[in-house]
Amino acid sequence: MDLQNYIRDIQDFPKPGIIFKDITPLLANPQATRFCVEQLLSQLQNVKIDKVIGAESRGFFFATLLAQKLNAGFVPVRKPKKLPFETIAASYDLEYGTDTLEIHKDAIKKGEKVLIHDDVLATGGTAKGMCELVENLGGEIVQCNFLMELTFLSGIEKLQPYKVFSVIKY
Ligand code: AMP
């Protein structure tokens, strides 16, 4: 199955110069969604995962599906002031300036094996921030996986030495 048929390019969204990778056609198609989950799981054979961490908001869709299949818990990482319980925060670099992510401070126990998931790996700042949050809580990162990697932005370099897998590379 060619998953690229289910990813819609939106020019200049949310701002000029960005080609936004819209996954709503993929999410609307159960066969394509199932295929995508299978591809992501293919790199996690016989690997124990305790928690799957998804990034707000498009990371949530597949992170919850993966967590179910892996018999793991799902944990959301969100923008500041969205999570109701006590949180810890990590700041990460954007093209201009910085942004912050938060996680509940009881979301991961020391030594738990963690899978990081997001829809797109672009500059890598978001995923790196998620890794920092997980490690600050004592979790161990097993892999970072993505539906798409925008290779021309070299985000993978920020994620060394973690294992990284992306279903589609642009
Ligand atoms: P980055 O931190 O630069 O790796 O950006 C990754 C985050 O921004 C992910 O949560 C993506 O959902 C979002 N993102 C970045 N670039 C795109 C894009 N071209 N299309 C869709 N989402 C994107």
pLDDT of residue 96: 74
Ligand 1 neighbours by CB, cut-off 6 Å: 18-21, 55, 58-59, 118-126, 155
pTM above 0.95, yes or no: yes
Identify the residue whose C-alpha is closest to ligand 1 atom 5. Answer: 122
pLDDT of residue 97: 83
Q: What are phi and psi of 122, to 5 degrees?
A: -105, -100
Query: Active-site residue 95, yes or no?
Result: yes
Residue recorded with tokens 């599906």: 65
For the chain, residues with pLDDT lower than 50 are none
One-letter identity of residue 96: Y
pLDDT of residue 93: 81
Selected catalytic residue, list 38, 58, 78, 157: 58
Secondary structure letter of residue 86 according to DSSP: -
Query: Active-site residue 58, yes or no?
Result: yes
